Amino acid sequence: MNPPERDEPSGRRAREVVRRDEPHRPAAEERRLLAATWGRRPGLWGWLTSTSHQEIGRRYIVTALVFFVLAGIGALLMRLQLARPENGLLGPDLYNQVFTLHGTTMMFLFAVPVMEGFAIYLVPMMLGTRNVAFPRLNAFGYWLYLLAGSFLWGASLLGIAPDAGWFSYVPLAGPEFSPGKRADVWAQLINLTEISALIVAVEVIVTTFKQRAAGMSLDRIPLYVWSVLVMSFMVVFAMPAVMLSGVFLALDRLVATHFFNPFEGGDALLWQHLFWFFGHPEVYIIFVPALGFVSSIVAAFTRRPVFGYPAMVLALVATGFISFGLWVHHMFTTGLPQLGESFFTAASLLIAVPTGVQIFCWIATLATGRPRFGVPLLFVLGFVATFVLGGLTGVMLASVPLDLQVHDTFFVVAHFHYVLIGGAVFPLFGAIYYWFPKAFGRRLSERLGRWQFGLLLVGFNLTFFPMHQLGFDGMPRRVYTYLPGRGWENLNLLATVGAMVIGLSVLLFAANVMRSLRRGEPAGHDPWAADTLEWALPSPPPVYGPLHLPVVVGRNGLWEPGAGTTFVTGLDPHAREVLVTNFLDADPELRETLPGDSPWPLVSAVVVAATFVGAMFTPWAPVIGSVPLFFALLAWAMPEKEEREEAREQERQRQAGAATP
Amino acid sequence: MTRRRWTAAPSLLLAALTAGCGALPAALDPAGPQAARVAVLWWWFLGVCAVVYLLVVGALAWAAWRGRRRGARRGSPQSAAPPAWADDPPELSADPARERRLALAVAGAAGATVLILIGLLVGSVITGDALAGARPEAELTIHITGRQWWWEVEYPGEMASERVITANEIHLPVGAIVHLEMTSADVIHSFWVPRLHGKIDLVPGRTTHHWLAAERPGVFTGQCAEFCGHQHAHMGLLVVAEPPERFAAWLAAQRRSAAAPDTAAEARGLEVFLDSSCVLCHAIRGTPAGGRTAPDLTHVASRATLAAGTLANTPGHLGGWILDSQGVKPGNRMPPNALSGEELQALLAYLESLR
């Protein structure tokens, strides 16, 4: 059953780490034991207590897509309002809430979480391990995210949606100019979702550093995993800035601190520095994982590894670094000193280089591969065509004099939709078409997929291309209406028509998913004959991941000659054991037992969310909330060893019974 | 009276104002040296970026086409369809000479990217320096204070009596470099007149500066560009560039206090003004009204628009605005005023006399 390990360091080391007294079992028996150990309890209780990375990753993705649709409906409402001058569909109050909800939801509840969800779902499978490093923390992060999103949209239904923009500039969002609770809803939503983002980042970093398959040294990590690793480090450094500003804002509003009040020694621009120190990396946090999608799809669909692996990895890392040096280009109009602005112009231009290198590498891969123009690759081609345009308008925005003209106009709206929809949503759809067969065992319809791609490409360009000109023609962003006679009517109407076409495309996608879930073509375990390890698993993958932990023999995963013939054996199937390997070479170090399913992450998340919501009303909320949180965390951390020993004992007795007829 | 009828008139007005612009968007139809500098830079950026875009997309199309031919050669000669995925093995052992050529091509493209970016950076910095170069030569200083949702415009004088305060309308002498000194009384706003210059923010607690000039006479529309709350959309302004002698005459007229009422109706109107809530917020120099939280009305009838560029300044609009400003500009800071017909007519007669 278990072929002898190849004679290489990781194999030798593996033999030292693995348990020697584990009996040899037939595969069916091993599967049964693993499923019993890693599976969740039946029913609702099992659903609520699950800590499987597959389950939580799927939940992240589905939840994020629901928020995508909600925020998209907001976008359609805005486009209807702007279809003609002095339209009366949405008044200023409602429009400001809708555009704030649209931006906040798209950034904090859709784009980042959907990328995180993919990472949580895919990374352990691509690394050949069974779960993320901290499964309960992972569940806690998801519940916080779900509660935060429900809180924002619940508050919106009650008429207290935030209305100061997704950037919540002070003093507009401060206590004086935003009375009521709307800005508090925004601040607490940010604080909650950022906790969840930090948790995912920690999961990805630790899982990637310590749980890679034996032999998957750093230079053999799939490009997708590199991209989410870079994303995770960016999250770790960027999110604290926005949490800090979110807490300052909440304190200004709750207990009248004056961090941002210029008339009491605070500073209105401090907010912008803190927010954009997070906010600029934020767009790369969304974009960098999408680059990983693109690399995965390009490799599988051109039938060759992506050209220039070292250059690709260095470009990802460089993007992560440089993205922290750009934030001031959001503040060129605030009257900062010119020399400082030039520095940020240079940095903003510089980031085009690593992105350019990756695009050149993909083009080289296409040219020397044998591309098959399936729907995922179509989305990749659409990504390059739209994203490069957005990147070039980004180069324009990096220039201080040009930015002075187009800053805060529809030109910027066009720019960032080109980079975010072009740079993240196109690859995201490609990724869904690519990995859907893995997750559900059925393929999405290619024909509907082509239609969806075509509609998205046309609708997207119809919507956003005219906005470049609107910006130059003097139309500012975030206006709920405009006066007739300034020549903006036709282009706005065109943009509205385009937005409807995008809506149609998303509807078609939903129909494709619904149809394919039930009647899609069965996919088999590896419909694309692709390279990364998740394709060795059955589709949908069993809850425990690989039956035997793979040993990786080269950078190209399953494509390497000899891949899939060497395994690590001897992990105890009665316990949730994973193999811990070292950082550089992924030599096995030890066996680590992960904790089991638990209701306490959910309970803790409810307590934390309630505390944050309570803090909108009273400064005592954290004091009161810390008491139940303490007990919930205590229960969370309670050891559960006896259960496992019991199960092992039962198994021994069963085997002893079977041996003596 | 409906909102639609109210807004028809300013649309005609604005259409007339912008009729001379031709087909170019406002920011690319400069009326001053600053906007002209930026427009030149823009055309350079646009040209370079368009070429780069065509090259990248062209390379992508070429690569896809070339790869497709390679794939077709590998497929079975009988059928155009590609082989099944499992029968299409990945190509791992690439020809080293080809990989070297690819590496050179990628490195060359990256090097070209760097050179192009350096060129754009130099152009951008040179333009930035030129914009800053206007600073020492300013001939006129104007103070602008952003407020939710209008602009307070102040021409400081050597003596207090020479100071002019008006709203939402900036008059400039043609050809003079004007120094705008700006701040905000509440939230952050941004001053933008695309045909003259880019924008600069008005930040509470700070003073920001802008130097611009108009090269030819004209009326240029501007608008607040930083989201500032409910009526961000209706925070417009006009810049009126006039020959120096006309500007001097305008300034002299604005320096005068309000004219005393001439007729009985106007006198009654002043009485209504001083007896109603108007006086709490508005100032009319030469009368006891001294409020500073709303636009100064000393010469209100001389202005082209009402409500920060929202309505053409006609008696009908003014009357509608006084009775129901919330219907025109929901959320603005002016409360509705329940005046009788007689009071309103008298008030209008007085306000229309404030030229």
> How many beta-carbon pairs below 8 A join chains A and B?
296
Of A177, A267, A483, the CB nearest to B7: A483
Residue A358 distance to chain B (closest CA, Å): 9
Q: What is the pLDDT of residue A8?
A: 44
Q: What HEC string does A26-80 produce? A: CHHHHHHHHHHHHCCCCHHHHHHHCCCHHHHHHHHHHHHHHHHHHHHHHHHHHHH
End-to-end CA distance of chain A: 25
Query: Is A631's pLDDT higher than 90?
Result: yes
CB contact under 8 A, A370 and B124: no
* Chain A interface disruption, residue of B12, B43, B54, B56, most A CBs within 10 A: B56
Side-chain half-sphere CA neighbours of A91 within 13 A: 9
Whether B223 and A304 lie within 8 Å, measured CB to CB: no
Please judge whether B127 and A350 are an interchain contact, meaning their C-beta atoms are less than 8 angstroms apart.
Answer: no
Which candidate from A263, A335, A384 shows the least CB-CB separation from B200?
A: A335
Query: Min CA distance, B255 vs chain A (Å)?
Result: 31
Task: Tell me phi and psi for residue A143, to 5 degrees.
Answer: -60, -40
B305 CA: distance to closest CA in chain A (Å): 13
Asked if residue B13 has pLDDT above 50, the reply is no
Which residues of chain B are within 8 Å of residue A171 when distances are taken between CB atoms?
186-188, 204
d(CA A477, CA A485): 18
Cβ atoms < 10 Å from Cβ of B86: 11
Q: Which residue does chain B place closest to A524, by CA atoms? A: B86
Rounded to 5 degrees, φ, ψ at A434 are -75, -45
Question: Are A260 and A271 a contacting pair, CB within 8 Å?
Answer: yes
Distance of alpha carbon A296 from alpha carbon A603, whole angstroms: 37
Listed residue (A111, A130, A106, A123) closest to A39, CA to CA: A130
Q: What are phi and psi of A480, to 5 degrees?
A: -85, -15
A-chain CB neighbours of B127 within 8 Å are 399, 401
The owner of tokens 């199960």 is A647
Residue among A93, A334, A371 minimizing CB distance to B201: A334
Q: How far is B271 from chain A (nearest CA, A)?
A: 34
Q: How far apart are CA A75 and CA A89, in angstroms?
A: 13
Query: Who among B14, B15, B27 is closest to A405 (CB)?
Result: B27
Q: Residue B239 forms beta bridges with which residues?
A: B170, B220
Strands B178-184, B140-147: parallel, antiparallel or unpaired by DSSP?
Answer: parallel
Upper half-sphere CA count for residue B166 (Cβ side, 13 Å) = 29
Q: Please state, in angstroms and rounded to a whole number, the distance separating the CA atoms of residues A332 and B131.
A: 14
Average of pLDDT values for A67-88? 96
What residues of B are in contact with residue A477 (Cβ under 8 Å)?
225, 227
Q: Which residues of A touch B85 (CB under 8 A)?
A: 526-529
Q: State whether B105 and A364 contact (CB < 8 Å).
A: yes
Of A269, A396, A479, the CB nearest to B233: A479
Do the Cβ atoms of A349 and B113 come within 8 Å? no
Output phi, psi for A305, to 5 deg: -60, 150
Q: Which residue has the tokens 């260095």?
A: A314
Residue corresponding to tokens 């950034």: A107
Residues of chain A contacting residue B194, judged by C-beta atoms under 8 Å apart: 405, 472-474
Please give the helix or strand (H or E) that residue B182 lies within, else none.
strand B178-184
* Distance (Å) from the alpha carbon of B311 to chain A's nearest alpha carbon: 10
Q: What's the pLDDT band for B92 if we cut at 50, 70, 90? A: confident
Percentage of the residues of chain A whose pLDDT score is greater than 90: 86
Tokens standing for residue A95: 């429009």
What SS3 state is found at A654? helix
Query: Which sign, positive or negative, has the C-alpha torsion A429, A431, A437, A443?
Result: positive
Sequence-distant (≥ 6) Cβ neighbours of residue B54 within 8 angstroms: none
Contacts of B181 in chain A (CB under 8 A): none
- What count of residues does chain B have? 355
- Taking CA atoms, B212 is separated from B31, B133, B250, in Å, by 10, 11, 20
- Collect all residues of chain B within an 8 Å Cβ-Cβ radius of residue A268: 188, 203-206
Phi, psi of B292 (to 5 degrees): -115, 0
- pLDDT score for A11: 46
Pairing of strands A588-593, B140-147: unpaired
The verdict on pTM exceeding 0.90 is: yes
End-to-end CA distance of chain B: 26
User: By the 8 A CB rule, do B181 and B142 touch?
Assistant: yes
Where is mean pLDDT largest: A390-394, A484-488, A547-551, A572-576?
A: A390-394
Cβ–Cβ gap B45/A402 under 8 Å:
yes
CA separation for the pair A576, A596 (Å, rounded): 7
Tell whether the model's pLDDT for residue B75 goes beyond 80.
no
Residue closest to A376 by CA, chosen among A312, A452, A458? A452
- Per DSSP, the three-state class of B142 is strand
Structure tokens at A108: 């904090």
- Tell me the two tokens of residue A102: 């649209």
Q: In angstroms, rounded to a whole number, what is the distance separating the alpha carbons of residues B279 and B294?
A: 10
Any idea which residue has 């004056």 for tokens?
A: A258
Do A123 and A228 form a contact (C-beta atoms < 8 A)? yes
The answer to whether residue A17 scores a pLDDT higher than 70 is no
Predicted confidence band at B70 (pLDDT cuts at 50, 70, 90)?
A: confident
CB within 8 Å: A357 and B110: yes
Q: In which residue are the tokens 């992240």 written?
A: A60
Average pLDDT over chain A, rounded to an integer? 92
The pLDDT score that the predictor gives to residue A277 is 95
Strand partners, A529: none
Distance of CA B313 to the CA centre of its chain: 20
Average pLDDT over residues A27-39: 92
Q: How far apart are CA A322 and CA A319, in angstroms?
A: 5
Q: Answer yes or no: do B205 and A262 touch at CB < 8 A.
A: yes
Cβ separation of A485 and B208 shorter than 8 Å? no
Residue holding tokens 């008059």? Answer: B171
Return the higher-pLDDT residue of A164 and B81. Answer: A164
Name chain A contacts of B120, Cβ cutoff 8 Å. 349, 395, 399
Over range A657-661, report the average pLDDT: 53
Residue A299: closest CA among chain B residues belongs to which residue? B90
Cα dist from A272 to A170, A255, A640, B316, whole Å: 8, 21, 47, 43
Q: Give the Å distances, CA to CA, from A544 to A308, A339, A535, A536, A541.
A: 33, 56, 15, 13, 8
C-beta of residue B29 within 8 angstroms of C-beta of residue B22: yes
- CA A534 to CA A559: how far, in whole Å? 12
For A415, list phi and psi in degrees, rounded to 5.
Answer: -55, -55
Q: Report CB contact under 8 Å: A86, B128.
A: no
Contacts B6 to A, Cβ<8 Å: none
Q: Is A370 helix (H, G, I), strand (E, B) or coil?
A: coil
Q: Does the pLDDT of residue A520 top 70, yes or no? A: yes
Mutation test of the interface with chain B: which of A167, A172, A386, choosing the one with the most B Cβ atoms within 10 A? Answer: A172
- Decide if B224 and A304 are in contact by the 8 Å CB cutoff: no
Contact A269 B70 (CB under 8 A): no
User: Within a 10 A sphere around the Cβ of B337, how many other Cβ atoms?
Assistant: 17
Task: Please tell me which of the candidates A381, A396, A527 has its beta carbon nearest to residue B85.
Answer: A527
Nearest-Å Rg of the Cα atoms of chain B is 30
- In the numeric block, the tokens 């910006």 are attached to A471
- Answer whether B227 sits within 8 Å of A165, measured CB to CB: yes
Residue of A nearest to B133 (CA): A338
Which tokens belong to A255?
């207990």
Question: Is the ipTM of this structure higher than 0.85?
Answer: yes
Q: What are the start-end ranges of the H helices in B133-263?
A: 244-255
Are residues B92 and A352, on separate chains, in Cβ contact within 8 Å?
no
**Cα-based torsion angle of the residue sequence B46, B47, B52, B58 in order, rounded to the nearest 10 degrees:** 110
Radius of gyration of the CA atoms of chain A, in A: 26
Residues A128-163 have pLDDT tens digits of: 999 999 999 999 999 999 999 999 999 999 999 999
DSSP codes of every residue in A208-265: HHH-PPBT--GGGS-HHHHHHHHHHHHHHHHHHHHHHHHHHHHHHHHH---TT-GGGT
**Of A483, A539, A555, A556, which to mutate for an interface test with B (greatest number of B Cβ within 10 Å)?**
A483
State the Cα–Cα distance between residues A511 and A445, nearest whole angstrom: 10
A contacts of B224 (beta carbons < 8 Å): 476
SS3 per residue for A323-348: HHHCHHHHCHHHCCCHHHHHHHHHHH
Across the interface, do A486 and B14 touch by the CB < 8 Å criterion?
yes
Interface test with chain A among B187, B219, B325, by most A beta carbons within 10 Å: B187
Smallest Cα distance from A596 to chain B, Å: 38
Tokens for B308, please give them: 């920060």
The larger pLDDT score, comparing residue A429 to residue A42, is at A429
The average confidence (pLDDT) of chain B is 90
pLDDT of residue A430 exceeding 80, the answer is yes
**Cα A158 from Cα A151, distance rounded (Å):** 11
- Looking at chain B, the whole-number percentage of residues with pLDDT higher than 70 is 91
User: CB of A471 within 8 A of CB of A71?
Assistant: no
pLDDT of residue A3: 42
Q: What pLDDT was estimated at residue A380?
A: 97
User: What is the distance between the alpha carbons of residues B261 and B271, in angstroms, rounded to a whole number?
Assistant: 10
B130, closest residue in chain A (CA to CA): A401
CB B327 within 8 A of CB B335: no
Inter-chain touch B82–A477, beta carbons under 8 Å: no
Q: Do B188 and A86 touch (CB under 8 A)?
A: no
**Which CA distances in Å does A129 have to A34, A115, A122?**
13, 20, 10
Q: Compute the nearest-CA separation of B220 from chain A (Å).
A: 11
Q: Which residue reads 């008696």 in tokens?
A: B315
**Helix, strand, coil percentages, rounded to 5, for chain A:** 70, 5, 30
Lookup: tokens for A259 = 């961090």
> What CA–CA distance (Å, rounded) separates B111 from B108?
5
Q: What is the pLDDT of residues B221-255, one digit of tens each?
A: 999 999 999 999 999 999 999 999 999 999 999 99
